[in-house]
A = this chain, B = another copy of it.
Amino acid sequence: MSFPVSLQDIIKAHQRIAKHIHRTPVLTCTTIDNLVNRKVFFKAENLQKTGSFKPRGALNSILKLKEEHSKVAGIVTHSSGNHGQAVAWAARLADLPCCVVVPQGTPEVKAQAIKGYGADLVYCDPSPTSRVETCDKIAKDKGYFIVHPYDQYNTIAGQGTMAVEFLEEVPELDAILVPISGGGMTSGIAIAAKAIKPSIKIFPVEPLGKELGPCLKEKARLWKNPPQFVDTIAEGIRTQQLGHLTFPIVCELVEKQVFTVSNKEMVEAMKFVWQRMKTVIEASSAAGVHAVMSEEMRQLDPSLKNIGVILCGGNVDIDNLPW
């Protein structure tokens, strides 16, 4: 099956963005390997520019816009924070005006960071519908281009660059665990990884309440409408529904087995990583860490010996820790 985003698009995206982003390190932890009885490799996107993987997709989108249009008036997006920071950062790098719509309740550290990159900040009601409407209105009024947090092919291609780097560095990976929200990262990684190494398995990791499993099994959008946020401490992955572009890709390429992680489990994994690995990760990253250390993982096919985990971000409001 072919998709509108190919490995070739992802490699081109990588060429476009590589000199501006960090090639993030792959971390390992002997304690975790011993506990899990497999080799675990962490792609440390918490050390990426702006503190999450999001600049990959944002910068690819914006640079491609500039290649394709003689005049770009500006950029607008909506985001719970990490994508907002990334777009603000990428727009400044591309020398374009930028406006970021964020839901009320966004951690102050993320809001400050967005403003720090020189973008205008617009607050909206904390619902998926409100942020889309506010964003659309600004786009129309100002003639700005929308850079979607996950449901655009250029965003998907940008996020896929993580898998290119990861498999270059650890070609022996048998599986990758990816925290999933709108599905941009998961679909990009799945397209790249499966094209490079068809035997690799991609497992989604969701916050409790997302209910992705039944949707994947039925290949149907069983979620309630209008779209909701999941009640989770991992505000980076609180979007319940996958995108309309990402969902078919995820259905096709990703395993049906979904790892589901509670708030309490995320907190435990977060503390473990901070204390043992000395690296600051946010709750959405911790979901992946919990998954790889879980009982469910222990019962997984033992031939999957080398497991990758995406530490997708490290933006934490340090004065309001979830414990």
Interface presence of A68 (CB below 8 A) = no
CB distance from A277 to the nearest CB of B (A): 8
Binding site for B on A (CB under 8 A): 46-47, 51, 109, 271, 274-275, 278-281, 314-316, 318-319, 321, 323
Which listed residue, B109, B275, B279, touches A278 by the CB 8 Å rule? B279
Q: Would you call A47 and B278 a contact (CB within 8 A)?
A: yes
CB distance from A233 to the nearest CB of B (A): 16
Closest to A116 in B: B31
Which listed residue, B47, B275, B318, touches A275 by the CB 8 Å rule? B318
Q: Would you call A274 and B318 a contact (CB within 8 A)?
A: yes
Q: Kindly state the separation between the CA atoms of A271 and B319 in the bound complex, as whole angstroms.
A: 9
Q: Would you call A278 and B323 a contact (CB within 8 A)?
A: no
Q: Kindly state the separation between the CA atoms of A281 and B318 in the bound complex, as whole angstroms.
A: 14
Q: Would you call B319 and A323 a contact (CB within 8 A)?
A: yes
In this complex, the member of A109, A271, A274, A275 whose beta carbon has the largest number of chain B beta carbons within 10 angstroms is A275
In this complex, the member of A271, A279, A316 whose beta carbon has the largest number of chain B beta carbons within 10 angstroms is A279
Q: Would you call B109 and A46 a contact (CB within 8 A)?
A: no
Q: Enumerate the 5 nearest inter-chain pairs by beta-carbon distance, A residue then B residue, closest first.
A: A278-B314, A278-B280, A46-B278, A274-B280, A271-B318
Closest to A47 in B: B278
CB distance from A118 to the nearest CB of B (A): 15
5 sampled A-B residue pairs with Cβ under 8 A: A51-B278, A275-B280, A275-B315, A275-B318, A278-B279
In this complex, the member of A278, A318, A321 whose beta carbon has the largest number of chain B beta carbons within 10 angstroms is A278
Q: Kindly state the separation between the CA atoms of A314 and B275 in the bound complex, as whole angstroms.
A: 8
Q: List, in ascending order, chain B residues with CB within 8 A of A321's CB.
A: 321
Known A-B contacts: A51-B278, A275-B280. Give 11 more (CB < 8 A).
A47-B278, A271-B319, A274-B280, A274-B316, A275-B315, A278-B280, A278-B314, A279-B279, A280-B280, A318-B323, A319-B323
